[in-house]
Amino acid sequence: MFDVPSIMEEITRLTSAEKKELRGIGQRLKPHLHIGKQGLSLTVSNEIETALAKNGLIKIRFEADRPKIKEYCEDIAKTRSCEHIGGVGKTSIFFREMAEEGKA
């Protein structure tokens, strides 16, 4: 059995300057997904995964109250191996390094 915290330490965390730059870029993005009252279903979770793999930086709009939005953000960051960059109101920005494509 492996130790979860040691795996999390291997993930490179972004510096505050990098997060600031990504928030600036993310501010101009339109939300990729709208998460409604039904929350994080399997379909929504798969769409988040697809959007992160394709774009790296995504914006999500939530239709929930603040405590639920915070819970969703923590859950997305943990289950999708991405970083919650920040959020304003009912929108949040997530980032994950994109895999480099092999040159053929």
Euclidean distance between CA atoms 30 and 38, whole angstroms: 21
Q: Which long-range contacts (CB under 8 A, 24 or more apart) does 69-74 make?
A: 72/35, 72/39, 72/40
Mean pLDDT, rounded, for 53-67: 94
**What pTM did the predictor assign?**
0.82
pLDDT given at position 38: 87
Instruction: Find the radius of gyration of the CA atoms of the chain.
Output: 14
pLDDT on residue 2: 38
For the domain made up of 4-95, the CATH class stated in words is: alpha beta
Q: What is the pLDDT of residue 53?
A: 93
Q: Looking at the DSSP assignment, which residues form a beta bridge with residue 35?
A: 62
CA distance 2 to 23: 33
**Tokens linked to 69:** 């939005």
pLDDT in tens, 5-34: 433 444 578 899 999 999 999 999 999 999
